């Protein structure tokens, strides 16, 4: 991965194509929203989502970040988690913006699309992609408890 000087742009420079970048802060409680602007995007090359930072193993000094981790949206109209995909949302391309809504207290992850389709600007709520995400606070009663995500403040 290559990080820009202003630390706001990440570019995958690996030939393997599935790199992972993490924010410098984590969330364990509350509702959080952020947006990701796609500057370049081959079909199926972008994964946007949430994950706990992986722990390093005894024989590794840094975690392996050459794979997609956690729960997320892939720009070829799918959700992805642990190797499993399902149809969801909309195809996204360069210049589109993807909004991410993480509700840690209820364990929900949703996405929004802001882009151009067939020559028209579209702003679309793609709906809930994942529910009951346990690291982010879901408990057996269906109520949020705030979770204790690794690396979260």
SS3 assignment, position 107: coil
Residue 138 has a CB neighbour count (10 Å cut-off) of: 21
Quick one: pLDDT at residue 110?
Answer: 94
Beta bridge partners of 126: none
Quick one: pLDDT at residue 103?
Answer: 92
SS3 assignment, position 138: strand
Quick one: pLDDT at residue 128?
Answer: 93
pLDDT in tens, the chain (153 residues): 788 888 778 777 776 666 677 777 778 788 999 998 888 878 878 888 888 766 666 666 665 666 677 889 988 888 988 888 899 988 888 888 999 999 988 889 999 999 888 888 888 899 999 988 866 544 434 433 333 333 333
Q: Residues 6 or more apart from 84 whose CB is under 8 A from it?
A: none
């Amino acid at each position: 991965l290559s990080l820009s000087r202003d630390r706001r742009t990440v570019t995958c420079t690996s030939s393997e194509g599935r790199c992972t970048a993490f924010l410098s802060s984590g969330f364990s409680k509350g509702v959080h929203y952020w947006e990701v602007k796609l500057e370049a995007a081959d079909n199926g090359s972008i994964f946007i989502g949430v994950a706990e930072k992986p722990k390093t193993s005894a024989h590794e000094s840094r975690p392996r970040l050459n794979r997609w981790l956690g729960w997320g949206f892939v720009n070829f109209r799918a959700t992805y988690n642990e190797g499993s995909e399902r149809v969801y949302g909309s195809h996204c391309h360069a210049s589109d913006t993807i909004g991410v809504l993480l509700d840690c207290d209820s364990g929900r992850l949703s996405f929004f699309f802001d882009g151009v389709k067939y020559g028209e600007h579209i702003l679309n709520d793609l709906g809930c992609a994942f529910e009951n995400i346990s690291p982010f606070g879901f408990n057996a009663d269906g109520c949020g408890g705030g979770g204790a995500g690794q690396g979260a403040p």
